[in-house]
Amino acid sequence: MPALSFLEVGPRDGLQNEKKILSLEDKTKFIVKLTQAGLKRIELGAFVSPKWVPQMKDSKELIQKILKLQKENKIDPQVQFSALVPNQKGLEQALKSGIKEISIFLSTTDSFSKKNINATRESAYKKYQAVCRQAHKENLKIRAYLSVCFDCPYEGKVPQKEVIKWVQKIEGLGVYEISISDTTGKARAIEAEDLFQKLFHFISKEKLACHFHNVHGTALANVWSAYKMGLRSFDGSLGGLGGCPYSKVPSGNVPTESLIYLLKGAEDPTIKKLLPIARWLEERLEKKLPSPLIESPYYTV
């Protein structure tokens, strides 16, 4: 059984939908703080169009700064960083930044795919075949997201056979992990369990991760279902910040600190290190974050 693994998506999924643009300096501080709290996998940004997602426009500079700090041993050398890549241009930027891991992202429906990346699923997939070929040649690690695995904001309930079909196609691109994403937070634990059970006939559980948005308060229950089914890789965002700008819903992520609370216990020292960062982020963004642990008397007194 593989060890538990958490991917912190706060600097990318967390921030991408925020109107207040954080300065490069604050983004750098945010990430350094996350590494000091002990997080080992962090998604730093996205090489997407700044016209589509303005908050991600300085991803290249940010990544270069973070990798330089890591080279100078000011950041734990064990921390693995990644960034989102939507197409060939994104890959070129990623290579210039020096990042060693990219995440590709596809959807189970054409409607969501077109809204999100202006391409049908097949056309995006074809572009990714070339992107992944080159990325492998450049020795990059590749991870993938499959969005709208339960519900699509434009097409409604997503048939499981579409998820299975796209998981198999994506595995063929040579990615090391596929994150099953509930973009609109509509999934329920019993549906998550059922989907994973079906998926295990086609892909090993070690290659699956999950990415539950928390729109309807069900994300942690879904995580628990996934854990009971044998998954060990979980995406989360500090403070529960985040969501896809094209999901039509105000979709926070499952908070990283809640993932740790659920799966490692309330006393895990990382939680106490993360909560002051969440409060700092609230100040920088001038808003409250949804994570219940931030206000918990257990951690504040």
Sequence-ordered list of residues with C-beta below 8 angstroms from that of 238, at least 6 positions apart, any chain:
8, 10, 14, 34, 255, 256, 257, 274, 277, 278, 281, 289, 291
Query: CB under 5 to 8 A by kind: which of Mg ion, ligand HMG, none does 150 bind?
Result: none
**Residue 269 beta carbon to Mg ion: minimum distance, rounded to whole angstroms:** 27
| Beta strand segments in 17-140, E | 41-46, 80-84, 101-107
**Residue 5 beta carbon to ligand HMG: minimum distance, rounded to whole angstroms:** 17
Q: How far is CA 48 from CA 148, 163, 178, 191, 284, in A?
A: 19, 24, 20, 32, 23
The reply on whether position 16 binds ligand HMG by CB under 6 A is yes
Q: Are 253 and 237 in contact (CB under 8 A)?
A: yes
Catalytic annotation, pick one of 149, 152, 210, 244: 244
CA torsion sign for 25, 57, 274, 34 is negative
Annotated active-site residue 244? The verdict is yes
Site string for ligand HMG, 91-110 (x = CB under 6 A): --------------x-----
Q: Which residue carries 């996934």 as its tokens?
A: 226
Please select the residue that binds ligand HMG; options are 15, 22, 42, 48, rule is CB under 6 A. Answer: 48
The reply on whether position 90 binds ligand HMG by CB under 6 A is yes
Please select the residue that binds Mg ion; options are 6, 10, 13, 131, rule is CB under 5 A. Answer: 13
The reply on whether position 252 binds ligand HMG by CB under 6 A is no
Q: How many CA atoms lie within 13 A of 270 on its CB side?
A: 21
Which bin fits 243, alpha (ψ -120 to 50), beta or left (φ > 0)? left
**Residue 73 beta carbon to Mg ion: minimum distance, rounded to whole angstroms:** 32
Question: How would you label 235-259 residue by residue, b for 16+ Cβ within 10 Å and e otherwise?
Answer: bbbbbbbbbbebbebebbbbbbbbb
Q: Which is nearer to ligand HMG, 105 or 261 (CB)?
A: 105
The number of residues that bind ligand HMG (CB under 6 A) is: 25
Q: Which two tokens stand for residue 251?
A: 């979709």
- Taken as a whole, the chain contains a residue count of 301
The reply on whether position 83 binds ligand HMG by CB under 6 A is no
Q: Are 183 and 250 in contact (CB under 8 A)?
A: no
Q: How far is CA 74 from CA 4, 19, 92, 101, 223, in A?
A: 25, 30, 27, 20, 33
Query: CB under 5 to 8 A by kind: which of ligand HMG, Mg ion, none does 147 bind?
Result: ligand HMG
Query: CB under 5 to 8 A by kind: which of Mg ion, ligand HMG, none does 153 bind?
Result: none
Please select the residue that binds ligand HMG; options are 87, 225, 233, 237, rule is CB under 6 A. Answer: 87
The reply on whether position 118 binds ligand HMG by CB under 6 A is yes
Query: CB under 5 to 8 A by kind: which of Mg ion, ligand HMG, none does 52 bind?
Result: ligand HMG
Q: Which is nearer to ligand HMG, 70 or 183 (CB)?
A: 183
Residues that bind ligand HMG (CB under 6 A): 13, 16, 46-49, 52-53, 84, 86-87, 89-90, 105, 116-118, 145, 147, 181, 183, 211, 213, 244-245
Provide the annotated active-site residues.
244
Residues that bind Mg ion (CB under 5 A): 13
